[in-house]
Chain A
Amino acid sequence: MSTSRLIITRSILKLAKQPTAPIMGFAMSLFFLLVYNAGIGGIGHLEAFGEKGYLAFVFPITIISLAMGSSAGAGQTLNADMQSGYFRRLYLSPVSRRMLVIAPMLADTFSSLFFTGIILAIGALFGLPFQFGLLSVAGILLLSLLWALTLCGFSAGIMLRTGQHQSAAIITNAVFPLLFLSTTFLPRELITSQWLLTVSWANPVTYVLEANRFLLGGTSTYEFFLSGLLILTITALSSTAFALGSTKRIKV
């Protein structure tokens, strides 16, 4: 087995053996989904939410928060190795530095994707609509893969550059307010504040939410889907490049 495969396999097995963070993130997302749907689901009867109701509208936020609250947001695999000092032992082995960063990113992304699959299945049980059937499922998984990669890459890069495992939280802390400056709970038509409307247009999270809504209830447009996909592709590539670039500045 090549050293790259060894490192990737190890990262995935580590996460499988210590799944507390991804499970907590998943539980939190599920909790939000149930609470939002039960508490304010009634407003889904308003015309602005479309025919498919509030579940299809609010569901994308559970997918976004899933990656933030789980391993991806924390860069958990890399975080654990840095915390124990074992990362330095790996760094002193002949394994390529890039692989030392890519392997934990892949593990965290796979974990996020796995739990997205589960939460989609639970959503389906609750009557979540999929506008384009399996294509919608594939599209949502692709969007969440890119989102998880975005969070993982920036978290990993910052940890490596600062040498501080605690700094992984910077990314989730930075993204968290963006969730509330978007069309998370209400469609644009029902947002009365002009400044919030303006900010939501400039907020990339809006496009990611709308892209998911296009695939679920069809309440958004194809253009939003393309914009969301493009934005996430750019951020995922940028964050991967940032993480890989950080291998030259690793503080161990």
Chain B
Amino acid sequence: MIAEILFKNITKKYPKGPEALKGIDLEVGKGELFTLLGPNGAGKSTLVKIATTLTEKDSGEFSIAGNDPGKDFTTIRRTIGVALQENELDPSETVENLLRFQCRLFGLSKDQAQQRADELIRAFELETERLKKCETLSGGNKRRLHCALALVHRPGVLFLDEPTVGMDPEARARFWQVITHLNKTEGVTVFLTTQYLEEADKHATQMALIMGGTIHYRGSVTEFKKMVNSGEQLTLEESYLAFMTQSHQPDFATN
């Protein structure tokens, strides 16, 4: 496996806070649709923030597509697309203008920016919202635009942190259609964190489970289910809950 995202012994402690990451070793292969699961406060968002250059690690090594963000954050930012939990929209701009501007920031010419904005407006079904200001959009449409903005520069790696929160079922289905298409046809690596485990179950092939700042499982989704359920046909959500219950047993920590 060629590691597209590589974390080696990553640690992070917040000032006056807990040790969020305690030596994370994790590899995500090129073209994988990978999901990172774990309870609230497990360290998922911290790891995503480090990967997307929003937070600095305390120690360890980290690279994306072979690039070290500490040395060349510009290359990393051209390589990754990021859609985090909170919407990051300029409320006074129209959908079309915001997409065009984002394209220009990534070096596209005016014509290329218009073309790419049109493509994304079509892909995320924002045609009727094109000329509306972001502040007037519904929650679901804001979310769609937020995700579309992450894709303007055709990134090779996508970080999606709870991407479908606030979307209606139809918008979620459309969103996943776009993402899986990118993953399968263009080989885009997807790093997903979500609380909607049915989405992870349906779309992700590889996963890791993080708890208390350490990785407790890394492998395929299918293997995880087998490992937890010993042959029973359970969903990822059921398997995850079973794993969490086991992990709270007194002998779990010593095994």
A residues near B, CB below 8 A? 1, 3, 6-7, 10, 14, 17-18, 81, 84-96, 252
The 8 Å CB contact of A88, one of B54, B101, B106, is B54
Decide if A17 touches B86 in the complex (CB within 8 Å): no
Cα(A85)–Cα(B77), bound, Å: 18
B127 within 8 A of A: no
Decide if A86 touches B90 in the complex (CB within 8 Å): yes
Chain B residues near A17: list those with CB within 8 A. 92
Decide if A84 touches B104 in the complex (CB within 8 Å): no
Q: Which residue of A lies closest to B86 (CB)?
A: A85
Chain A residues near B101: list those with CB within 8 A. 6, 10
Q: A84-B90, A85-B88, A94-B77 are in contact. Are A3 and B105 (CB under 8 A)?
A: yes
Chain B residues near A93: list those with CB within 8 A. 77, 102, 105-106
Cα(A96)–Cα(B53), bound, Å: 13
> Taking the nearest CB of chain A, how far is it from the CB of B65, in angstroms?
15
The 8 Å CB contact of A14, one of B88, B92, B106, is B92
> Taking the nearest CB of chain B, how far is it from the CB of A158, in angstroms?
18
Sample of 8 further A-B pairs with CB below 8 A, known A6-B104, A94-B74: A6-B101, A81-B90, A84-B90, A85-B86, A85-B89, A89-B102, A93-B106, A94-B106
Decide if B77 touches A84 in the complex (CB within 8 Å): no
Chain B interface size, as a band, is: 20 to 34
Chain A residues near B106: list those with CB within 8 A. 93-94
Q: How many A-B residue pairs have CB under 8 A?
A: 56
| Interchain Cβ contacts under 8 Å between A and B, 6 examples | A1-B104, A84-B89, A89-B88, A89-B149, A92-B82, A93-B77
Q: Chain A's interface: helix, strand, loop or mixed, by majority? A: helix
Q: Tell me the chain B residues, 137-156 only, with Cβ under 8 Å from chain A.
A: 149
Q: A17-B92, A93-B77 are in contact. Are A88 and B84 (CB under 8 A)?
A: yes
Decide if B88 touches A95 in the complex (CB within 8 Å): no
The 8 Å CB contact of A86, one of B53, B84, B89, is B89
Decide if B78 touches A94 in the complex (CB within 8 Å): yes
Q: Which residue of B lies closest to A10 (CB)?
A: B101
Q: Which residue of B lies closest to A86 (CB)?
A: B90
Decide if B54 touches A84 in the complex (CB within 8 Å): no
Q: Mark B160-201, 1 if CB is under 8 A from A, else 0.
A: 000000000000000000000000000000000000000000
Cα(A95)–Cα(B104), bound, Å: 11
Chain B residues near A252: list those with CB within 8 A. 54
Chain A residues near B90: list those with CB within 8 A. 81, 84, 86, 89
Chain A residues near B91: list those with CB within 8 A. 84, 86
Q: Mark B110-147, 1 if CB is under 8 A from A, else 0.
A: 00000000000000000000000000000000000000
B52 within 8 A of A: yes
Decide if A95 touches B105 in the complex (CB within 8 Å): yes
Cα(A1)–Cα(B54), bound, Å: 26
> Taking the nearest CB of chain B, how far is it from the CB of A84, in angstroms?
5
Q: Tell me the chain B residues, 56-91 only, with Cβ under 8 Å from chain A.
A: 74, 77-78, 82, 84, 86-91
Decide if A18 touches B92 in the complex (CB within 8 Å): yes
Decide if A86 touches B105 in the complex (CB within 8 Å): no
Cα(A94)–Cα(B82), bound, Å: 13
Q: A1-B104, A6-B105 are in contact. Are A91 and B54 (CB under 8 A)?
A: yes
> Taking the nearest CB of chain B, how far is it from the CB of A2, in angstroms?
9
> Taking the nearest CB of chain B, how far is it from the CB of A195, in angstroms?
40
Chain A residues near B89: list those with CB within 8 A. 84-86, 89
B107 within 8 A of A: yes
Chain A residues near B92: list those with CB within 8 A. 14, 17-18
The 8 Å CB contact of B54, one of A81, A92, A96, is A92
Cα(A7)–Cα(B104), bound, Å: 10
Cα(A7)–Cα(B101), bound, Å: 10
Chain A residues near B74: list those with CB within 8 A. 94, 96
> Taking the nearest CB of chain A, how far is it from the CB of B218, in angstroms?
27
Q: Which residue of B lies closest to A250 (CB)?
A: B54
> Taking the nearest CB of chain A, how far is it from the CB of B228, in angstroms?
36
Chain A residues near B107: list those with CB within 8 A. 3, 94
